[in-house]
A and B are shown apart, each in its own frame.
Chain A
Amino acid sequence: MLLLFEAIVCMRLLFKRRNRIEVLRQMFVGGIKSLAVITVVASFTGMILALQTGIEMRRFGQEVYIGAAVMVSMLREMGPFMTGLILAASVGSSIAAQMGTMVVSEEIAALELMSINPVRFLVMPRLVAMAIMTPFLSFYSCIMGVVGGGIVGMTQLNVPWSAYIDNATRFADNKDLFVGMLKAFLFGIIIVIIACHQGFATTQGAVGVGNATRRTVILSFLTILIVGYMITRLFYV
């Protein structure tokens, strides 16, 4: 938590060009490079959702409503959740390994020796980058999921695209969209904070780095699930 506060305090330094470039670089590394995997995972998530709900709903002749099911579940839960898991597994573990290696190789100590705040220099750009990118990636995954669901609807369930989109937009609203993006925003912060914390707390050389990476992924997954549930409860109950 202290790490988070310190990173937030350091955000005033974001106006410096050097820091902005670092943030952009982290956005590129953490976000753009994850687009491929997010595209595949989100598309198939939408396709599976459409197929499973469509098969059941077809028994009642209501398969036309799969658009609503896919859109609402992607916007509310699956989009942010899948994005969070992907980023925790790829970006979170990468940050933890990077920080852990720097700790083990005493690069962090060297930074401190040069009076460079490692939080400002290492944590803040990653935090800002992920806080910005995760909601956007989450929204992107929602679009991919809805498109994937629509393709399944058209090809497997004989649901016309127009009917699919009409139902998808009729049953979802802006609250679903923005609560989902809020979740993604918090997931991005959680992933970076856990990863940086685990990285900075690394001991015992290469084994410690491995442990830090493993713990980052596990803790991120658990925290994402718990925070996701709490936000859902906060906004929908």
Chain B
Amino acid sequence: MKQSSVDREMTMELIVGTFMFMVLLALAYFTIVLGRASLFEKKFPLEVEFEDVMGLRKDDNVVQRGMTIGKVKSLKLMDGKVRVLSMLDSSLTLKTDYKITVISTSILGGRNMEVKVGSEQASPLPHDVMPQGTKPFDLMAEAAEAVHEIRLSLNQGGILTNLEQSVASIKDISGKISRGEGTIGKLVNDEGVYNEFQSVAKEIRGVTARVQEITDKISKGEGTLGKLIMDDSVYTNVAAVAANLKDISDRLNKGEGTLGKLLAKDDQLYKDISTTASSLKEISGKIERGEGLLGKLVTDETLYNDVKSAVNEFRTTVDDYRETSPVVSFTTLLMGAF
């Protein structure tokens, strides 16, 4: 009986001890996990200075290209800046064009520290230089500022006043329209204006019908305009004239024909004509001055008279010959027979 009691006590102690041991193990594991303590992994510290961390907290993730590479370990206010110490899973080599900023994880909140190490071409950041974080973009703050500026411009920039005035003007205009004042008011309210518009519209319809008729005639090729538009012969003639003109201009360009030669670039014909003209001028000058036979003929009266009398004498001689020629011919024939 006593042995049984001892056994029962042993069993009870064993069960309680096992339970306690297992819970203690689980408790130790949870304590390590919830404390984010890594006992066996090597961590690499990265200290960054920020002007503003926008609510970044301890244990927030450090991300690179969207991948978590570490956690924020502590944040301290130092010399008007916030110094953030983070522990990374692997070491990072920052380049001179690096960028480190605080980003929002979702619209509901939550922050991550994003690290961009920089381009491969850039030189590495010296070890004694403290990396500086860029000012984060706070969507809510920016939105609030935008709303504030809109409100300011509405109130102080006179937009609101202008809007109010515009609304008042529109109200005034709509009142006038509804009262039938002005052209639009009459259009809306006056039956007579409507009727006038009706008659104008009727006239416009008639004009349109006439225009339609003219265009129909043109399209049928009737009348001068119709022929001009529809008949190809006019176009053909014009084209032929243009071709002729082109041919003429080509010949002129080539220096063919008299006009072409006149227009030719070498001026030979012009020079010839000019020389001829000067020669003629010289000859006429000589004639005028009474030089040479022609000059004397023109200017000397005695030579004229001599020539005239010579011609008269020649004419008389010819007349005599004509009168005597049958006798001569008969005598010749008669004498010839002997």
User: Are B31's CB and A177's CB within 8 A?
Assistant: yes
Least distance between B131 CB and chain A CB atoms (Å): 26
Stretch from B9-17, B40-48, B179-187, B250-258 forming part of the interface with A: B9-17
Is A204 interfacial (CB-CB < 8 Å)?
no
User: Are B16's CB and A31's CB within 8 A?
Assistant: yes
Is A66 interfacial (CB-CB < 8 Å)?
no
- Among A21, A25, A35, A172, the residue within 8 A (CB) of B34 is A172
Is A140 interfacial (CB-CB < 8 Å)?
yes
- Interface size class on chain A is 20 to 34
Least distance between B46 CB and chain A CB atoms (Å): 20
In this complex, what residue of A is CB-closest to B33?
A169
- Among B15, B24, B31, the residue within 8 A (CB) of A174 is B31
User: Are B16's CB and A139's CB within 8 A?
Assistant: no
Within 8 A of B (CB), among A1-46: 21, 24-25, 27-28, 31-32, 35
Chain A residues within 8 Å of B59, by CB: 170, 173
Q: How far is the CA of A124 from the CA of B19 in the complex (A)?
A: 22
Least distance between B115 CB and chain A CB atoms (Å): 20
Is A77 interfacial (CB-CB < 8 Å)?
no
User: Are A28's CB and B16's CB within 8 A?
Assistant: yes
Q: How far is the CA of A35 from the CA of B20 in the complex (A)?
A: 12
- Among B9, B12, B20, B34, the residue within 8 A (CB) of A169 is B34
- Among B13, B15, B23, B34, the residue within 8 A (CB) of A177 is B34
Is A217 interfacial (CB-CB < 8 Å)?
no
Q: How far is the CA of A81 from the CA of B26 in the complex (A)?
A: 20
User: Are A28's CB and B12's CB within 8 A?
Assistant: yes
Is B35 interfacial (CB-CB < 8 Å)?
yes
User: Are B35's CB and A139's CB within 8 A?
Assistant: no
Interface residues in B, total, Cβ within 8 A:
18
Is A121 interfacial (CB-CB < 8 Å)?
no
Most chain B beta-carbon contacts within 10 A, residue among A27, A31, A62: A27
Is B321 interfacial (CB-CB < 8 Å)?
no
Is A143 interfacial (CB-CB < 8 Å)?
yes
In this complex, what residue of A is CB-closest to B26?
A143
User: Are B26's CB and A139's CB within 8 A?
Assistant: yes
Is B30 interfacial (CB-CB < 8 Å)?
yes
User: Are B23's CB and A24's CB within 8 A?
Assistant: no
User: Are A32's CB and B35's CB within 8 A?
Assistant: no
Q: How far is the CA of A62 from the CA of B26 in the complex (A)?
A: 29
Chain B residues within 8 Å of A139, by CB: 23, 26-27, 30
Least distance between B27 CB and chain A CB atoms (Å): 6
In this complex, what residue of B is CB-closest to A132?
B20
Least distance between A125 CB and chain B CB atoms (Å): 13
Is A161 interfacial (CB-CB < 8 Å)?
no
In this complex, what residue of A is CB-closest to B27?
A139
Known: A28-B12, A32-B16. A140 touches B34 (CB 8 A): no
Within 8 A of A (CB), among B113-141: none
In this complex, what residue of A is CB-closest to B9?
A21
Least distance between B16 CB and chain A CB atoms (Å): 5
Chain B residues within 8 Å of A172, by CB: 34
Chain B residues within 8 Å of A35, by CB: 19
Least distance between B63 CB and chain A CB atoms (Å): 14
- Among A21, A25, A140, A176, the residue within 8 A (CB) of B23 is A140
User: Are B16's CB and A27's CB within 8 A?
Assistant: yes
Chain B residues within 8 Å of A169, by CB: 33-34
Contact bitstring A120-159, B, C-beta under 8 A = 1, else 0: 0000000000000000100110010000000000000000
- Among B12, B13, B23, B35, the residue within 8 A (CB) of A136 is B23
Within 8 A of A (CB), among B129-182: none
Chain A residues within 8 Å of B30, by CB: 139, 177
Known: A32-B19, A136-B20, A139-B23. A24 touches B34 (CB 8 A): no
Interface pairs (16), CB distance under 8 Å: A21-B9, A24-B9, A24-B16, A25-B12, A28-B16, A32-B15, A32-B19, A35-B19, A136-B24, A139-B23, A170-B59, A173-B34, A173-B35, A174-B34, A176-B34, A177-B34
- A-B pairs with lowest CB-CB distance, top 8: A136-B23, A28-B12, A174-B34, A27-B16, A169-B33, A174-B35, A173-B34, A28-B16
Using CB atoms and an 8 Å cutoff, list the residues of chain B in contact with chain A. 9, 12-13, 15-16, 19-20, 23-24, 26-27, 30-31, 33-35, 59, 108
With A62-B108, A139-B27, A173-B59 known, 20 other A-B pairs at CB within 8 A are A21-B9, A24-B9, A24-B16, A25-B12, A27-B16, A31-B16, A31-B19, A32-B15, A32-B19, A136-B20, A136-B23, A136-B24, A136-B27, A139-B23, A139-B26, A139-B30, A140-B23, A174-B35, A177-B27, A177-B30
